[in-house]
Amino acid sequence: MRNLVPFVKAMKKPPRADAQRNLDSLLEAAKAVFAESGVDAPVREIASRAGVGIATVYRHFPQRAELIAAVYRREIDACAAAAQALAREHEPFEALTRWLHRFTSLIATKRGLAASLNAQDPAYQAVPAYFREHLEPALQSLLGAAAAAGRVRNDVDAYELLRGIGSLCIPVSEVGPGYTRRMVDLLIDGLRYGARAAP
């Protein structure tokens, strides 16, 4: 039988029951508050909705960005996972555009998420980091496949494209509905301009 000591050492004690309860209601409250007031909602509002003190929020999430990432983790992971399915079911360019549109609505439908993704404030830095870590590989492969098929140019960096679309998802005043979609499509058409089949 293998020596279990290293595993036992690596295991950390489970958190206290009340701490876990608080964490759960915190995530639930944050999700609700983010939905109705945007991700910049005051910490106090999230805390009071969760029925906990302010310090409890900071104890679990020293940086606001970690809370944001935790709330949207599932959706981000699902978006990343969708890339493989799309690649199987569609030809490369179609898969790419469908995924980019999915990514767009992931970001654009959460009020303030796009803005926080692009914020300079160091408290938000973990948000783009989480996005990069999970979504860049997904886009990378779709982009590579479409380029190999000669449907898009091959000189565009996946992460930069991710950030560019993220910027275009920031809501803007005085524009008609569908603005974000039109701009993202324009960027996608830019990908197609000058595409050449691989030699």
The pair of structure tokens assigned to 70 is: 């935790």
| Member of 89, 125, 137, 196 binding a second copy (CB under 8 A) | 125
Whole-angstrom Cα distance, residue 89 to residue 147?
17
One-character DSSP codes across 117-176:
HT--SGGGTHHHHHHHHHHHHHHHHHHHHHHHTTSS-S---HHHHHHHHHHHTS--TT--
Binding mask 154-193 for a second copy (x = CB under 8 A): --xx-xx--xx-xxx-xxxxxxx--x--xx-xxxxxxxxx
Residues numbered 46-105 forming contacts with DNA, rule: CB under 7 A: 51-56, 58-60, 62, 64
The nearer residue to a second copy, 101 or 163, going by C-beta atoms, is: 163
The nearer residue to DNA, 53 or 137, going by C-beta atoms, is: 53
CB of 57 to a second copy, least distance (A): 24
Count other Cβ atoms within 10 Å, centred on residue 66: 15
CB of 16 to a second copy, least distance (A): 36
SS (H, E, C) 172-186: CCCCCCCHHHHHHHH
Binding mask 10-29 for DNA (x = CB under 7 A): ---x-xxxxx--x-------
In the block, tokens 């005085």 appear at 174
| Member of 82, 132, 140, 154 binding a second copy (CB under 8 A) | 132
Residues forming contacts to DNA in the complex (CB under 7 A) are 13, 15-19, 22, 40, 42-44, 51-56, 58-60, 62, 64, 123
